[in-house]
Structures are given as C-alpha cells and as structure tokens.
Amino acid sequence: MKTVFILGAGASRAAGGPLMFDFIDAATRIFRLGEAGWAQPHFEGILDARRKLQGAFVKSTIDIDNIENLFSTYEMASLIGRLSDLDESVVKQLPKSLRYLIMRTLEQAILYPIDGKEQVIPAPYPYDAFAELLIELRDHREASPVTVINFNYDLCLDYALTLRGFEPDYGLAGSPVRSKRSIAHYKVHGSLNWFRNPETGEIAPQPLRKLPMRTYWDRLGLEHPAERPIDTMELIYGPDKWGMDLYPEPIIVPPTWNKGWYQEQLKSVWRSASEALAAAENIFVIGYSLPASDQFFRSFYSLSTISDSFIERFWLFDPSPKTDVVERFSSLLGPAIIDRGRFRFECEKFDGAIKRLAEHFGYRTENFAGR
C-alpha cells in the first residue's frame, strides 16, 4: 500500500521549532538575547515594521503576532509600496528580510544533541527515529512506497536521512532521477537548503554534510552532553565555514493568500506531492491541524485525491483538543473515509506518533521512546 506522511509545524515543535502563532515571539526573544547574528539587520527591519503596523489598529485589525499574517501583510506592503512612514525601498525589502528572519529563527530554535561520544552529531529529536521508521517502511508490504509531504522549512529530516546514507528526493524540476537510496520528501513551502541558481534561475537544493561530533564538542567547550543550535551553512558547507558570511536567500514560500503566484516556482514539487496523494492508501498526518484559513490545502487535497485508489487509513496525530481538530478534518474528508471508519485521531505529539506507527507495522519500539 502506498503511504504518505504529511508533516506540519507540530512535527518541528518536537525539535524546538516554533509554531505559526509563536514564531514571532521566538524571533523577538532571539533578537533581544543578541542571537540574531548575521541576520541582525533583517530582524531590526522586520520588528520595526511590525511596530509600525500597530498604528493600523485604529482603523482595522491585523494579527501581528502570527507569522502567516505578518508575511501576508509584508507581501502586500511590498506590492503597494507603502507601510506607514517607512521608505519605499525599505518596504520592498521586507519579504526578503522576513525569509532571513525565518531562517535564523529556525537555526537558533532547533537543537542538535552534542554528547561528545558519537562520531557524528545526531539529528534533532525525534527525527532519527522517524528516518529509521521511513527506511523500514520502504520494504513493508503494507506501506511501501513511502512519501513525505512536509510543510516545514527546517532541515531536521533531511539531515536524519543523510546520516543513514539516504538522500531526499525533493521533486524539483531538473533534480536527479530518484535512486534506490532516496526517499521522496516534498517540501511544498520551500527549504532552508534550496537556493536559486543565479545563472539558470532554477532552484538548486544543496546536499547536507555529516557533522563531526568532536569539532562541536571542542568548539563549544562542553563538559556535559547538551543540545545546541547549528547554522544552516555549516550543515551545507561543513563546520570549517563557521562564521563566514555565506547566506544566499533561501527558497521560502510564504503560507499566505499569495500562494498561487509563489507556487509557480515550486510547481513540480506540488505536482509530485499531488501524484503521491492520488495513489495513497495510507495517509498519516502529524502536527498539522488544518487551520480554518488554509483553503489552499483543502483545495489541494480534494483535487489530488480524485483517483481510483482507496484510502485504507487516514490517521491524524495531534496534541490539540480532539473536538477542534477532528471537526476540521471531518469537514474535509469524504464519506468513503469517515463513514467506513478509516479515519482515526490520536492525541499524540510527534514522538508518540512515531512509536504508535512503529508498533502498528510490527517494529520494535525501543528506539521510538518518548521523552
């Protein structure tokens, strides 16, 4: 049976990543702690523009605490060329600055375990276990082949697969043909390791490197195991590039009303994801609660699942209250899933979902323990 995993922000939460509603809070905290680093000017520009937006409350309401709303507002400001008394040249840079703010916030929020014992640094928790599960399911008769549709920008799963000698198949136009050591990983909103080739204009993903444990243990002066952030450029170029100004603008598609225009850049990724959903017999949703505002995904799911395949399992894992999230998914799913008892909700975080799925497919769960 063909299996599709859909990962939302709740999956990244397990590794330290912020959610939509508290992303700006996390970014502000990083800025105030002096950890914005190379992205300091971008944080300053974004947070200053956010303060200017407070003036809109007199005549309208804008949720300036939600990264999705903020991205949408800055896109509109760039389009019309105005936001309060900011210079137009500054306004036009806001979408780019917000991408860098997202990149740096994820860099600082997501933590890698450094214990000084292993040869290489493991992936952020619990992505090692998830990558192991994916690799096991590739050969399982009730699950293979396996596809991951990921709404997140981070590199947690990409790195976990790299550690196991697998490469993500991103579905990008011009990417190499899928190999026996690849797993379909469609990051439909972009990724921190995707950049535009200045010569061809194509999106070029950069492979990740295995990070040597001893280098970071010594650099950080650790005496006890700890979890620490690691810069994107070190994951791409290696730790010897530490501190260098190597930050091209990442391909990050804003989760906003303007998706249609942006998705032209990632058409091949969305089409690959749609083909996977069309053939899916198992769909496992983890950490995505289907917010009422996401009409884009509702349309995408509905159109993609018009096919001859039958969905045997549609399982939703989310720590949100059951009545809220189940009602939203029930309004999306058709009678062939709901009425036939193929929809299941489990109030679990990412690590709990991994353990449940491992148990269901008959794998030992020692490596999938929660924390």
Angle at 294 between CA 74 and CA 137, to 5 degrees: 115
Q: Do both 186 and 283 map to the same domain? A: yes
The conformation of residue 116, written as its DSSP 8-state character, comes to: S
SS3 220: helix
Q: Do both 137 and 74 map to the same domain? A: no
Domain span at 151: 3-17+111-368
Q: Do both 7 and 29 map to the same domain? A: no
Q: Do both 97 and 194 map to the same domain? A: no
Q: Do both 100 and 131 map to the same domain? A: no
What is the edge-to-edge ordering of all strands in the sheet holding 203-205?
Answer: 203-205, 190-196, 250-252
Q: Do both 262 and 345 map to the same domain? A: yes
Name the domain count of the chain: 2
Cβ-proximal residues to 217 (8 Å cutoff; 6+ apart), any chain: 114, 116
Predicted confidence at residue 243, as pLDDT, reads 60
Predicted confidence at residue 61, as pLDDT, reads 73
Q: Do both 225 and 286 map to the same domain? A: yes
Predicted confidence at residue 248, as pLDDT, reads 80
Instruction: Give the domain-ending residue among 92, 109, 126.
Output: 109
Q: Do both 11 and 151 map to the same domain? A: yes
First to last CA, the chain: 31
Q: Do both 218 and 306 map to the same domain? A: yes
Instruction: Give the domain-ending residue among 51, 85, 109.
Output: 109
Predicted confidence at residue 26, as pLDDT, reads 95
Contact 287, 149 (CB under 8 A): no
Q: Do both 102 and 125 map to the same domain? A: no
Distance, in Å, from the CA atom of 230 to the CA atom of 241, rounded to the nearest integer, reads 12
Q: Do both 84 and 231 map to the same domain? A: no
Residue 58 burial (CB < 10 Å; 0-12/13-18/19+)?
exposed
Predicted confidence at residue 262, as pLDDT, reads 59
Neighbours of 72 (CB within 10 A): 19
Q: Do both 129 and 233 map to the same domain? A: yes
Residue 263 burial (CB < 10 Å; 0-12/13-18/19+)?
middle
Query: Along the 371 residues of the chain, how does pLDDT read in single tens digits?
Result: 699 999 999 999 989 999 888 899 999 999 999 999 999 999 999 999 998 887 765 566 777 777 877 887 888 888 888 888 888 888 888 889 999 999 999 999 999 999 998 999 999 999 999 999 999 999 898 898 999 999 999 999 999 999 999 999 999 987 765 677 899 999 999 999 999 888 888 898 999 999 999 999 999 999 999 999 999 999 999 887 666 666 788 998 866 545 555 567 788 999 999 999 999 999 999 999 888 767 788 888 998 988 888 899 999 999 887 778 899 999 899 888 987 889 999 999 999 999 999 999 988 766 555 55
- What pTM was computed for the model? 0.92
Instruction: Give the domain-ending residue among 60, 88, 109.
Output: 109
